[in-house]
Amino acid sequence: MSTPPGDRETIGELRDFSAVSAAPRAMDLSDEEETIDAQISYDERGLVPCVVQDWHSGEVLTMAYMNELALQRTRETGELHLWSRSRAEQWHKGATSGNVQTVRALRVDCDGDALLALVEPAGPACHTGERTCFHRGELDPGAPYETLPGLERTLAQRARERPAGSYTVELLDAPARIGEKVMEEAEEVARAAREESDERVDEEAADVLYHLLVLVHSRGRSLADAERVLDGRRA
């Protein structure tokens, strides 16, 4: 049975910008990193654009600039350092607010004139308090890759705030029921695949994903934990 419409977590509710916390991790300079450094083409000001992307969700958080010193400090501390063009000074992202960004990987584009920093943010990336600096413009409908990370943030919010009448809270309070719902929805998507329309397959698959994420979160786990297992299985 599909989740009743009144109980579904709506798309609008997915805009909770709760953050992923992470402890700083020092980065050792490897041969690969030295190769990346050699590939970077700084402009006449000694700067290179740096796109900052969430390591877990893939969301683009910020577009800023680095110089050689910022890159060096990023490597030394494991936290993102940038160059502030408006203040004309080195900028340790989150040093004042506490919303530092732990760097998991640095990548360079094909021309060497842009960097990509994959980070685990300890809080909102934007000075406005929004999770990402790109919070204006054409936001609806959201990009498909934003849906599951947004849902996970909503689940975490429900667990913290426990609003009355929330279907998610009801499930979190009844662990056995979550497992039953996952099995029930899995059976329904299998039946839809055998007998029903493509739209019904999509609807039932969405129900499976929602209930599975509630189950995973009830155990203190996340989608990223399962994704790491899948990544480790790649041959």
pLDDT, tens digit (0-9, with 9 covering 90-100), for 164-202:
999 999 999 998 999 999 999 999 999 999 999 999 999
Cα-Cα-Cα-Cα dihedral sign, residues 186, 10, 221, 118: positive
Mean pLDDT over all residues of the chain? 86
Out of 32-36, 147-151, 231-235, give the one with best mean pLDDT.
147-151
Confidence of residue 45 (pLDDT cuts 50, 70, 90): very high
Which residues are CB-neighbours of 43 under 8 A, at least 6 positions away? 113
How many Cβ atoms sit within 10 Å of the Cβ of residue 60?
15
Q: What is the largest CA-CA distance in the chain?
A: 63
| The pLDDT of residue 28 | 52
> Could you say which of 121, 156, 185 is where a domain stops?
121
User: Of 113, 72, 123, 69, nearest to 93 (Cα)?
Assistant: 123
Kind plus residue range of the DSSP H or E element containing 13: none
Rounded CA separation 225/105 (Å) = 18
Domain count, the chain: 2
> Could you say which of 57, 86, 121 is where a domain stops?
121
Indicate whether 153 and 223 sit together in one domain: yes
Question: What predicted TM-score, i.e. pTM, was given to this entire model?
Answer: 0.70
Domain range spanning residue 162? 5-18+139-232
- The reply to whether 26 falls in a domain is no
